[in-house]
Amino acid sequence: MSSISSLYKSSLGQKYVMAASGTLLFLFVVGHLVGNLQVFGSPELINTYAHFLKSKPLLLWGVRLGLLALVALHVITAVQLSLANKAARPVEYAKPPTYGSAWQSRYMLGTGSVIAAFVVYHLAHFTALLPGINGVGDFRTLEATLPGGEKTHDVYAMIVLGFQVWWVTLFYLVAQAVLFIHLGHGLASMFQSLGFRNHIWWPRIQLFAKVASIAIFIGYALIPVSIYLRVVGADYAETKRFELKPAALVEPAAATGKEAK
């Protein structure tokens, strides 16, 4: 226990926590991308995958709570470190000394905050399915039939309908660009913080960080862009939009009804 508390008390220990939680969150980002890329297949493909995840509640909630804990750890430690870092220079320079520093490295707290805000929206958008924030209608009413005959939530329709809204697609793209900047510095720094670096491996680590952050950006950006440009799922979305319409129209109809009274 003493080594765990002394770990968190030291600035280096807090950097280990940042790097380790960052590594696990990065692995989730990769896994999540692989899952999401199934949207380029048939509607049944991603719906079956989503149904499979939902059918294992223990695993699903274990992973969800684990991720939540990781995010909390990553954010709280980042805030603590940033406060300590700010306190270490009470009087600022007339000219901020940024000499030799990578610009991405100076905005980790800012880019991280944007990503955190995005995660909140993304969870409300596609996980909690809050109506009224997606610009389409109530995603909870979407239903699909799996090849086995089971009824399930139509995740495919939700995605293709969701990204046909221009501001949703734009927000997702901005968030992905910010994640790209965050990972561009973070991925290489994880290795540094955990001590995995020498003159041979540092260029390779930097290359890995560059390639991985670009690949993640392209992979994630491809989904909303190809849907927004109606390359993917346009016909499917139209049939489903028809199903959605009554639900979307409920509120305005009720409102006019009240006015009529």
Partner 1 sequence: MKVTLKVWRQKSRNTPGEFKTYESPALNPNMSFLEMLDVVNEELANRGEEPIAFDHDCREGICGTCSLVIDGKPHGPHQGVATCQTYMRSFKNGDEIVVEPFRARAFPLVKDLVVDRKALDRIQHAGGFISVRTGSAPDANNILVPKENADLAMDAAQCIGCGACVAACKNASAMLFVAAKVSHLGLLPQGQPERHRRVKAMVDQMDAEGFGGCTVTGSCEAVCPKEISLDFIARMNRDYAAALIRGEPKPIAGSGAG
159 and 223 Cβ atoms separated by less than 8 Å: yes
Q: Cβ 19 to partner 1, closest distance in Å? A: 9
The yes or no reply on residue 213 touching partner 1 (CB under 8 A) is no
- The span from the CA of 36 to the CA of 253, in Å, is 35
The yes or no reply on residue 87 touching partner 1 (CB under 8 A) is yes
Percent of the chain that is helix, strand, coil (3-state, to 5): 75, 0, 20
183 and 209 Cβ atoms separated by less than 8 Å: yes
Q: Where are the beta strands (DSSP E) in the chain?
A: 143-145, 151-153
The yes or no reply on residue 90 touching partner 1 (CB under 8 A) is yes
Q: Cβ 204 to partner 1, closest distance in Å? A: 13
Site string for partner 1, 118-137 (x = CB under 8 A): --------------------
Cβ proximity to partner 1: between 34 and 88 the closer is: 88
Look at residue 241 and give its three-state secondary structure: helix
Site string for partner 1, 102-121 (x = CB under 8 A): x--xx-x-------------
* Choices 85-93, 161-169, 217-225, 226-234 (CB under 8 A): range interacting with partner 1: 85-93
- The span from the CA of 100 to the CA of 98, in Å, is 6
The yes or no reply on residue 192 touching partner 1 (CB under 8 A) is yes
The yes or no reply on residue 11 touching partner 1 (CB under 8 A) is yes
Q: Cβ 92 to partner 1, closest distance in Å? A: 7
* Structure-derived torsion over alpha carbons of residues 226, 116, 90, 99, reported in degrees to the nearest 10: -20
Q: Cβ 99 to partner 1, closest distance in Å? A: 4
**Rounded to whole angstroms, what are the CA distances from 81 to 41, 64, 87?**
43, 26, 10
Binding positions for partner 1, rule: CB under 8 A: 2-3, 6-7, 9-16, 81, 84-102, 105-106, 108, 185, 188-189, 191-199, 202
